[in-house]
Structure 1
Amino acid sequence: MPLVTTDRIFDGLADKFERGLYGTPRGAIRLAVLEHVLPSELPTDGRPALDVGAGLGQMSIWLAQRGHAVTMVEPSRDMRERAIVGVGDLAITPVDATWQTLPERAPGPWGLIVCHAVLEWLAAPQAAFAHLATLLAPGGYLSLMVFNRDALRFSNVIKGNLDKALDDRLEGLGKRQRLTPISPLTDAQVRAWSTAQGLSIEAVTGVRIFHDYLLERHPTPEQLEKVIELERRYCQQEPHWRLGRYLHYTLYKPETVS
């Protein structure tokens, strides 16, 4: 169970996310890997899409550019307002909602739901996952990305936090501007929850497998290009994907059998 009993909403942190994630090699790698795998895993028929916890809107824009009408859900006001700036004339509708209010604000059912780097910031991630499954239409796809608890343990060992790793004290406290997730998840949890909700796992991808362990944390553009090539090459290969800082799942809800 997480140490924090309330969800983390990132009011006041839009600048930190923009500079500290998407303005860095970490963000470039994340988007490059997703752009590498998602076109062949998600539907291309332009069905309406729900982007839950859209943050700065990168995935909403990516989907809209590929013909989807996107409902972009983000409870943080400044994150939502920052995302709207980049929307332009794309078919994106911003919505202020938490996962608890989704059934009222964006009931669906949805043929495509995107939920990236959200569950790990919730006090009840399993309940939120079940909510998403109920909003998914039969024949629909869920693009889910979660923070990998096993990779977080590995990172703590590398940093010398040995007692923390031995005691399995990996959760963050959700305080101030610290960005250690309050509910990091394991592959086993996601698989169990998917089975319980009747969702099949079509593909699993490790995101940021190698970068965080580089001796040079600020690679040159030429080095970054090679790191991205490595990340893309091994993101779905055993055993490498299992150590991705994030794990991405493409989940499918089977058609109802009559």
Structure 2
Amino acid sequence: MGDERGYQPGTDRYFDGLAEKFAETMYGASRGKLRLARVQAHIQEHIPLEPGQRVLDIGGGLGQMSAWARAQGLSPVLVEPSMDMLTFARAALGDDIPCVQSDLQTFARSAAEPFDLVLCHAMLEWMAHPEEALPLLYSQVKPGGWLSLMVFNLDALRFSNIVKGNTTRVVEDRNLAGKGRHKRLTPISPMTHDQVSQWITAAGFECRAVAGIRVFHDYLRERAPDDKTLEELLELETRFGAQEPYWRLGRYLHYCLQRPEAS
């Protein structure tokens, strides 16, 4: 599979060479801080967390969610295919959180036992065939366990392009997905809620909650909101992020999914 320096269309995209860019332009910026805050809050609202639960952070990137899971008293394992991202995560997390270099497909074939909770955030949209991920994720969740799934929303991508004036691109419905070139971070496989819902049902999960993540932030005229605005945005995202019609235009969609007990 290719990375940002040699990505091959039709393959999953990894992020070797982009760890610093993610740290600075994503998680060092308001959009990353808001994303983490809302996802973590939505998990705590809908997924029961108990000390000692085993957690798989698949496609865990720089390790922020694994660090959060550890702070909740959980026992995370971070799995990430990019060595650059994994090196960054290992330095940030220390030795008490296992960090494994692998993709979902390989890890699912070798994992010894399923987990109480699987975190899969902003990974499916970088897969060439994201529809194949849900059955693999299902196999990693124990009966009665949970999957926290976050995906990049194609409907929001369309709306954002219209707001930015890229109307021809949307009218022709072309060139919306990323090409995997250079350091551009538009995903190669954005998806709609209807698509994801079909995959969720087909895999056997039951959806307990869904919310939009960054339903307002990405449409601001001011791209770098000050602290007061960011605080108010967080309040608004919390208030409206799971309400119709707002959640459907979240840059990301976050699903709290449960594997049935008798499965």
Indicate whether the TM-score tops 0.5.
yes
Tell me if 1:10 matches 2:15: yes
Q: After TM superposition, which residue ranges in structure 1, 4 or more long, deviate above 2 angstroms?
A: 103-108
Would you say 1:81 and 2:74 are equivalent positions? no
* 2:119 paired with 1:119: no
Query: What are the within-5 Å matches in structure 2 for residues 186-205 of structure 1?
Result: 186-205=192-211
1:55-94, Cα deviation, whole Å (9 max, x unpaired): 10010111111121111001111111111122136x4110
Aligned mates of 1:39, 1:195 — CA distance in 2 = 23
Please tell me whether residue 242 in structure 1 is matched to residue 242 in structure 2.
no
Secondary structure at the counterpart of residue 61 of structure 2: coil
Q: What is the distance in 2 between the residues matched to 1:33 and 1:223?
A: 16
Inter-partner Cα distance in structure 2 for 1:8 and 1:35: 25
The structure 2 residue matched to 1:166, chosen from 168, 171, 178, is 171
Q: Which residue is equivalent to 2:3? A: none
The equivalent of 1:22 in structure 2 is 27
Q: CA deviation at 1:167?
A: 2.0
SS in 1 for 2:116: strand
1:176-195 → structure 2 map (5 Å cutoff)? 176-195=182-201
Identity of aligned residues (%): 50
Aligned partners of 2:121 and 2:238: how far apart in 1? Answer: 18
Moved more, 9-18 or 38-47: 38-47
What residue identity is the alignment partner of 2:190?
P
What is the RMSD of the two structures over their aligned residues, measured on CA atoms? 1.4
Query: Who is 2:97 aligned against?
Result: 92
- CA offsets 1:98-135 (integer angstroms, 9 cap, x no match): 11101244342122100000000000101122211122
* 1:148 alignment partner, one of 153, 162, 166: 153
Matches of 1:73 and 1:159, distance apart in 2: 36
User: Does the Cα contact within 8 Å between 1:107 and 1:135 map onto a contact in 2?
Assistant: no
**Contact 1:119–1:129 (8 Å) recurs in 2:** no
- Find the aligned partners of 2:32 and 2:44 in 1 and give their Cα distance: 19
Q: Secondary structure at the match of 1:108?
A: coil
Gapped runs of 5+ residues in structure 1?
none
Deviates more, 1:74-83 or 1:38-47: 38-47
The corresponding residue for 1:36 is 41
Cα pair 1:97 1:105 within 8 Å, conserved: no
Deviates further, 159-168 or 191-200: 159-168
The CA distance in 1 between the partners of 2:155 and 2:231, in whole Å, is 26
Is the 2:108–2:139 Cα contact (8 Å) retained in structure 1?
Answer: no
Query: Size of the alignment, in residue pairs?
Result: 254
**2:215 aligned with 1:209, yes or no?**
yes
Residues 196-229 of structure 1: per-residue CA shift (max 9 Å, x gap): 1111100001100111111211111111111111
Conservation of the 8 A alpha-carbon contact between 1:139 and 1:254: yes
Q: Which moved more, 1:39-48 or 1:133-142?
A: 39-48
Instruction: Choose which of 32, 52, 75 in structure 2 pairs with 1:69.
Output: 75
Equivalent residue, structure 2, for 1:139: 144
